[in-house]
Structure 1
């Protein structure tokens, strides 16, 4: 640990490297009287050993020395991770520009010319130690802020992961609940209405010759039951298409596209490169719901003349595209579009990619990629 780390408010610790004893003692006395802790080295080897053992806050380094000269000492100090940040001030009787340029290229921060001017030496030493301390303090702050940022990022990532898992769980629970409701509506209410329709049909046949008003009421009730039964079946299919469970994704999509065209009057061209897709049930459900939601948006908002749906099975992923030629989406006004958000979240659950492109007056294109080998976030 350096002196600055032990006592950051103190003047500082300086390593003086000078092969002339008189000059070395002169500088040592000057800095000691000013309150600095001084270490001495009379050659380059001793300087390197001292600096590596305990890095000082500043090195005052003579250029011309026997053995390893000051330039080489500086080069080695800057090459060593332990000492590369220690500021080096060259001591030199030379005033040639190229000597200074070479020193600065090696990483020196300043030059002090011989013969020494005490006030100048003290001013330069104080300035560079203060700059070094400011730099060290800033670096420490950056490290602390970086550590805080990384910790915050980890927490945010963990929260995001939990949110994704919760979203996946809620989607699963909602789909299971819709399946349960669809079965109850279909099996219980549907069967009860079917039995009532049969009984009313029998009564209509038996009472056709009796009071015309009774026959008319029975016929009206029979038609109401028939319409209600159709509505129940439609609601049940909207909650959970039985075809999706019984015949698979391709058949369910074909049936839904046909019903979309029938009910909306908008022609819908369907392209699939498989008669059946060999994917898990949860992914098949997600693809069906995305297509269903996209077509619902087209019917409600797009004012389209035609729609294209593509579901293509690639080597690594299922590609889903729904494109219309309608009015497109208006510029965002900050409102949440929960339909698009729901579709995006469905795709994210499978580690996929979702993209929506819309041009006012030229339609909207929704594209999703479902990786086939991606684990679901559950």
Structure 2
């Protein structure tokens, strides 16, 4: 760093040099006792900062600032004085001084930080000037960029008419749409048109999808509120062709449905084998161990104790088989239906977790479709798992009700409430699985968290029967 000091009092000059070098030993200091010689040397030295006394022979600090700004704008200046004067301070700052400092008792100890501060301020100003220049350059490129975009783009004016469109938009949708209401873009897709107009009216960013007359599917991103030279452009519409993506998504959904169906079938098969094969074998072992224990004489105390331990282990194994078998695929879901299965699971969940678990079940008398029962059961199961792991709740309520067309499922806890950032987080795999199952059932899922009051999971799916 290069520092120019203009000071006619030798003692003050020496103290300032010491203070600066103590903080920055490698600094280059150029002292001057009068302003004229300083002005003549600025180009040669190219300083990072200038420190000048206000009262100097031949020219005061304010006059120095005026001369300096004529030829050397951008060099930060610190004006020092023995006695503070508010009027002089204001004039100095208006002339561009980075700081106006009184030589008080702690002046010399504070000087290094004062220098760093004014240098930093000038760096920020320089960055701002460069940013403004860059903005002007980029703004000048905007029209050419819009013309070269491969993505259709249109601008909607104040009365929702198409005010501007780039060449690719005109080529795909027709140049004749310029000047017409934006409804003309969406053709017969009235829902997409309504959503677009609503976003524009509310000046909110939004996204809509529609299918054109050529059966291409488009996603339209709406960015409202561009203001330029007093004219308000209602919105910019950017179009993306998502026809192929939608086809891939449909294929992925079919694959996901198949994977979940195969997974449930495999779970059911393993559950039955555990229950029917391994469960029976372990039960037989228990009976045999009990028989042996009953036929031993009282003299075989050690053997009886060992058999008692064996019986306890077998009981634990039986419980584990039942628990694992039910976890894989509870038989009650296939035998008695969704309502009974959810009530049973809620009872088990409450016993294991210690939470009060309330069920309010109102389902049709007729059995629901198998894949619907399985999907809703798994969604409820995952929702309760999340409550146990994250909610810090004392109570959870599961409610199910229906009308002729829709099944409504709700899981509500009184815990800490889920954070909004976690609802759509890619790390929330459990929620993603719930959402995927819901989409497979052609339903919707809404998750809301109220800090300190709990979380609500609401699911709506079309009713389907066996």
Q: TM-score category by the smaller chain?
A: 0.5 to 0.7
Correspondence list, 1:173-322, <5 A:
173-207=262-296, 209-274=298-363, 276=365, 278-322=367-411
- Is the 1:309–1:323 Cα contact (8 Å) retained in structure 2? yes
Q: Deviations over 1:326-367 (max 9, x none)?
A: 122235265521111111111100110101111232211101
Residues 355/208 of structure 1: CA separation in 2 closer, same or farther (3 Å cut): farther
Residues 208/245 of structure 1: CA separation in 2 closer, same or farther (3 Å cut): farther
Task: Work out the CA distance in 2 between the residues paired with 1:252 and 1:214.
Answer: 43
1:356 aligns with 2:447: yes
Which position in structure 2 is the counterpart of 1:142? 169
Task: Work out the CA distance in 1 between the residues paired with 2:463 and 2:329.
Answer: 23
Task: Work out the CA distance in 1 between the residues paired with 2:366 and 2:393.
Answer: 29
1:160 is displaced (CA, Å) by 1.0
Structure showing greater radius of gyration is 1
Higher strand share: 2
Task: Work out the CA distance in 2 between the residues paired with 1:235 and 1:357.
Answer: 32
- Is the 1:322–1:366 Cα contact (8 Å) retained in structure 2? yes
Correspondence list, 1:86-105, <5 A:
none
Residues 194/373 of structure 1: CA separation in 2 closer, same or farther (3 Å cut): closer
- Is the 2:414–2:453 Cα contact (8 Å) retained in structure 1? yes
Pairs aligned (count): 239
TM-score, structure 1 length as denominator?
0.59
1:145 is displaced (CA, Å) by 5.9
Which position in structure 1 is the counterpart of 2:241? 152
Correspondence list, 1:316-355, <5 A:
316-332=405-421, 334-355=425-446
- Is the 2:364–2:402 Cα contact (8 Å) retained in structure 1? no
Q: Deviations over 1:220-261 (max 9, x none)?
A: 011100111011101000100001111111111111111111
Residues 288/373 of structure 1: CA separation in 2 closer, same or farther (3 Å cut): closer
TM-score, structure 2 length as denominator?
0.48
- Is the 1:329–1:364 Cα contact (8 Å) retained in structure 2? yes
1:161 is displaced (CA, Å) by 0.7
- Is the 1:272–1:310 Cα contact (8 Å) retained in structure 2? yes
Q: Secondary structure at the match of 1:332?
A: helix
Task: Work out the CA distance in 2 between the residues paired with 1:371 and 1:363.
Answer: 27
1:208 is displaced (CA, Å) by 5.5
Task: Work out the CA distance in 1 between the residues paired with 2:166 and 2:411.
Answer: 52
Q: Which runs of 5+ in 1 are unaligned?
A: 1-137
- Is the 1:277–1:313 Cα contact (8 Å) retained in structure 2? no
Q: Deviations over 1:269-308 (max 9, x none)?
A: 1101237453101101111111111111111221111011
Task: Work out the CA distance in 2 between the residues paired with 1:277 and 1:304.
Answer: 34
Q: Deviations over 1:138-171 (max 9, x none)?
A: 7652244669985931101101111111111111
- Is the 1:249–1:276 Cα contact (8 Å) retained in structure 2? no
Residues 310/326 of structure 1: CA separation in 2 closer, same or farther (3 Å cut): same
Report the aligned-residue RMSD: 2.4
- Is the 2:443–2:461 Cα contact (8 Å) retained in structure 1? yes
Q: Which runs of 5+ in 2 are unaligned?
A: 1-164, 174-213, 219-239
1:372 aligns with 2:463: yes
1:262 is displaced (CA, Å) by 1.2
Higher relative contact order (CA 8 A, sep 6+): 1
Q: Deviations over 1:181-207 (max 9, x none)?
A: 101111111111010011111112122
Residues 240/149 of structure 1: CA separation in 2 closer, same or farther (3 Å cut): closer
